[in-house]
Structure 1
Amino acid sequence: MSRRRQWLLGSALMLGLALFGLYLLSRIQPYEETLEHGPAPEAQANPYLAAEHFLRQQGLQVQRSADLRLLASLPSAGQTLLLLGDRQRMSPRQVERLLAWTAKGGHLVFVAERLWDEDEGKSGDLLLDSLGLQQYQSDALDQSDDEAEEPEAAASAYPELTQLYLENEDAPAYFGFDTAFHLYDADNRAHVWANSAAATHLVQLYHGDGLVSVLSDAWIWQNDRIADYDNAWLLWYLAQDSAVTLLYHAKRDGLFSLLLRHFPQALLALVLLLGLGLWRVGMRQGPLQAPASPSRRQLQEHLRGSADFLLRRSGQHSLLQGLQEDIQRRARHRHPGFERLGVTEQWQLLARLTRLPSRAISQAMRPLPNQRLSAVDFTRQVAHLQTLRNAL
């Protein structure tokens, strides 16, 4: 093919590709698509992250803690402590310190964790029992008593929502508490409470110079619910004009998960290195010894192996008794009626037949002892019996 023809063919191909590209561009329609990646890792690890951001936006000072050791340095006046974590391991000493901190002017907000046990006369929630508060399941309450105590809530247009009435306000605030639980003020100390149509979910009472607010649940302040109804407003209302400390255990990634996320190649190399190390330690030292060839084995080895097996399986007495029986069988063959003779006469006959001394006969045919023989005595006894048997 001439150079001119190659140039023309290449130009035609380039022109065709350009025309095809223009056609594709004319058919492309731009569009926008929003991809939902879900909550950020910080929000997944911290269920109250939105609550922290909301309080900071209201101009409040907010800090987070994971245990009660901060009480030693936390002032009471002008402080609100939101105890939202699990309190099952809280000791009576810790409860006393927490209530003493509150009595000095602090505001304690916590969640009731246990149901009241009528038989034991307590719930097991040390904070709840110390304040004379009791928690029940709403479906276990007497409906007539509920209606008598809460006429305004029963007449509400939103019976599933919890309502809080404030002075100088025409309409209540609404919260999304779980209506399955009910708080009861057994000592009649509460001065503020919030009810749904079925139960009470917020109780507030004075404790010394401080204030205690008890909730039936704190789910209304988690990331996915704080924006519902007036849930965020209630958090601000309880914490207003104070510094806030949130006490709970946020989920933290462990060391292995962090290494797996950021250094997967290093972990893979470490696993391979450990595997090679174990393989190296487990290697045999020296070449493998090949099994002996079956054609090499002699009859003597088979006999020795069979004897060792019988000795381990049946014991010494079985082998010695077998030899004595073999001698008696040969004696009966050479002298019919041998079995009807006495022991002394049998031994005398064996001495005549074998021309062995009576002492050798007695040593070979004497009754076997009950105890196990030593290796030397066993070998000597077998030799006596074989000598006697070979002589018949």
Structure 2
Amino acid sequence: MTRGRQIIFGLVAVAAIGLVAAWFLQSFERKAIDLPLPPKGEAVYNPLYALKVALQRERQRVHSRPHLFDDKHPLQAGDTVLILADPARLSRRESDALRAHVARGGHLVVQVPMTMLDEERRVPLLDGFGVGMHTFVDDVCLRVRTVLKAKKDHEKKNAENVMCMDRFALAKASTPTLVWGDAEGVAFARFAHGQGTLDVVASLDGARTPQLTRANADANANANANANANAAFVRQWLQPNWGRGTFHLIYASDMPSLWRLLAENAWRVLVALALCIAAWLWMRMQRFGPRLPSPPDARRSLLEHVQATGDHLYRYGRAHLLHSALRAHVLARLRRKDAIAAALEGQAQADLLAQRTGLPAADIADALRSPRPFDAKDFRYRIARLIALGRHT
């Protein structure tokens, strides 16, 4: 290849690289992207964490906890209490304490009891306010006006949808000071009680962290409409004592004891488990019968081992050991029944045993004497007489 061709190929390669670089710079744009990270710390277990942070940024005093009453943070006049739990699970003592707090100037925000979904039930906290049954609706929302800031620093009014699923009913005799609702039912009602106010909301899901995620300033307003609408709606719940006292955010006050949860939701499993345990105990229990346990059944392996041991001793000329063992067994059995006969020796013992058993005295005397060594016939004879003697003693 000549030098001129090398120069031409080099220029073509440089031109191609330049075109690719120009296309890349023209087509792609450097842009920062925010990636949501999984929650950690308090945000994991506190569903009202976003509301707590938002109130702190508004310079409000906030305390969030799982239990309703805390000695370190007592309720004062002017405080706002938001209970995420079902008010029907509150005890009479807790309900009376909350009503007294509202009467002396406090503000309480609760959701309508879910226990009223199927049947009427008196809830001590809402007794006398005329709050009726909880209902579900589909695709029917309230329109809440929000104010958004556009990119050109001017405000834009917009109406967004909230409370698209939950409603509740009010009795005709109820006298709320403020009601938000539609033809499907009531979504929000505010009642005056003593010097304070009580707010009943169809659902407090709008106060949870996912619905209150703050939108970026440069993001599209339509993409964050739900967050802005929920934030504006929740801000109206907290208006009566805004800037006066402390906001108490209770996110788990309806948590009953473990035994109550088991009794209400797992009694079928507990009954089945109790029956299984009772059946297992009945199978394993000691049966009624004699005080002494039954003797163990003979095992084939043990009998084979005993027989093999006897065969081994007999084969190696130790038959007298087998005879001595059987004679000791017969004498021990005789000692339990007739100690005098067992204490005698020789011919006197043979004569006394002959009188008791009816066997010949000569055979008894031969049975009690050791067999001659290496005499199989004499060994079998004396063993047979010992077995007969043992049966008759």
TM-score, length-scaled by structure 2: 0.47
TM-score between both structures, scaled by the size of structure 1:
0.47
